[in-house]
Amino acid sequence: TGGVAPTVAPAGATFTETLAPTSGPTATVTATALLPQNTATFTATAPPMGTIQGAVWEDRCSASEESSAFPCQISADGTPLGDGQRQPGEPALAGVVVSLAQGPCPGTLLSKTTTDARGVYAFKGLPPGRYCVSIDDQAPLNQPLLSPGVWTQPGVGQGQQEISLPPNGAVEVNFARTLQRAEQAQAVTPTLSPTLPPSATPTFTPTSTMTPIPTPTLTDAQKPYALGEPQMHDPMNTPGAHWLIFNSFPWASIQPGNGKLLVTILKPGPTHNLWIRSTYPALKDAYLEAVFQTGKACNHKDRYGLVVRSPSKYEGVVFVVSCDAMYKIYRWNGGFTLYRNWTHATMVHSGPNQTNRIGVWMEGNTIKLYINRAYVDEVEENLFTEGSFALMVGGGATPGFQVAIDEVNYWTELP
């Protein structure tokens, strides 16, 4: 018998097997070596990751339309707010806790982070999808930093934002908040001794409808109608001589004439508050009074009033009355300090074609509001001790809202 003698060839080569001679025929077999097969390798790929980041800052507004440093908007209830845009000089809010949730707002909480000294936060390494970024201003760590206040970014009153994060994307979500640094008004009982005789026939009897603010006990000589002749009386016959009149705003018009200063808010808008500053000497302790007459349309938070203790055109304490018989007191000095939010006052003659006499009594740190010579309210103002004064008219609801200022008086010889 014969044996098989194999020959090993490199891959791809051919070889021949020859059987040893036998008594029978000889068979020759030709074969080709098989090539080695490549082995497939599978590698798991992580989804592309993205980032959600942004900043949190205090959104301020300036005290006057003459200022463009911190533009303002006015909310539906007449509250002045920042414009929602980051302006130079607006401070960062550090230490604010920001939350990230998965899915549409409010979503399922995933993570929390805190803004740094620049007011910046970031959530990194996020897969694509829908997320909800939010700040709870009532959370224990946030409340001391954010309350009281109003969100202006992402939207007015909106402290959350739903976003869609693309693969490898970066989405910016910013938060801006106008802080309302409320200061409690302190009731003050005047202790001044009367030096002027009371009027024999007073025109108005002061009453108080404020609750729970107590009414000070005023002697007749301390009532506005008992002050005698004013040290300054402006009948508005030549308002251009004593008032800074600007007609540079397309939404407003100021027209002197017929013994009045007529102000028209042609188009109501979020920043359409007009201050008309006087050129009279600055006042410290004084009683200031102006007579306002509304036009044929006067609705909701259309408003008018006085600005006092104004050291610059961007600052002052504002006493404002609305067409729906409410009043508000606040300070503007690049930020908003609320003394008294909108409060009903029965002594306001509400609506169109009405006359209201608004008075502000300034003595030391105590500032009192009178409407139609009836005592309304008072606050303690410790920042501004003296300053100029201004008339204020704002359009909140009515196109073509008109107010005529008939006269302005002040008394500097207080009892």
Q: Across the chain, what does the average pLDDT equal?
A: 80
- Minimum mean pLDDT among 16-25, 266-275, 388-397: which range? 16-25
Give me the CATH code for the 50-179 domain, please. 2.60.40.10
Length in residues, the chain? 415
Burial 20-39 (b: 16+ CB within 10 A, else e): eeeeeeeeeeeeeeeeeeee
Q: What is the mean pLDDT of residues 142-164?
A: 92
Q: What is the mean pLDDT of residues 290-301?
A: 95
The CATH-assigned architecture of domain 220-411 is Sandwich (2.60)
Q: What is the mean pLDDT of residues 89-101?
A: 95
Question: For residue 401, which phi and psi values (nearest 5 degrees)?
Answer: -60, 130
Q: What does the alpha-carbon distance between residue 19 and residue 16 come to, in Å, rounded to a whole number?
A: 10
Q: Is the pLDDT of residue 103 over 90?
A: yes
Stretch (H or E) spanning 146: helix 143-146
**pLDDT tens digit sequence for 365-378:** 999 999 999 999 99
399's CB contacts (< 8 A; 6+ apart) are: 265, 266, 267, 268
Q: Is the pLDDT of residue 264 over 60?
A: yes
For residue 64, the SS3 value is: coil
Strand pairing report for 170-172 and 50-58: parallel
Q: Is the pLDDT of residue 314 over 90?
A: no
Over pLDDT 90: what percentage of the chain? 57
Q: What are the residue boundaries of the structural domains of the chain, listed by start?
A: 50-179, 220-411
Amino acid at 293: Q
For residue 263, the SS3 value is: strand
Sign of CA dihedral 209, 199, 366, 291: positive
Q: Is the pLDDT of residue 271 over 70?
A: no
Q: What does the alpha-carbon distance between residue 306 and residue 278 come to, in Å, rounded to a whole number?
A: 11
Q: Do domains 50-179 and 220-411 have the same CATH topology?
A: no
Question: For residue 408, which phi and psi values (nearest 5 degrees)?
Answer: -135, 135
113 pairs with which residues across the strands?
98
**pLDDT tens digit sequence for 31-46:** 444 445 555 555 556 6
DSSP designation for 225: G
For residue 143, the SS3 value is: helix
Confidence (pLDDT) at 206: 31
Confidence (pLDDT) at 195: 32
In 3D space, the residue among 350, 353, 245, 362 whose CA is nearest the CA of residue 307 turns out to be 362
332 pairs with which residues across the strands?
316, 336
Q: What does the alpha-carbon distance between residue 164 and residue 122 come to, in Å, rounded to a whole number?
A: 16
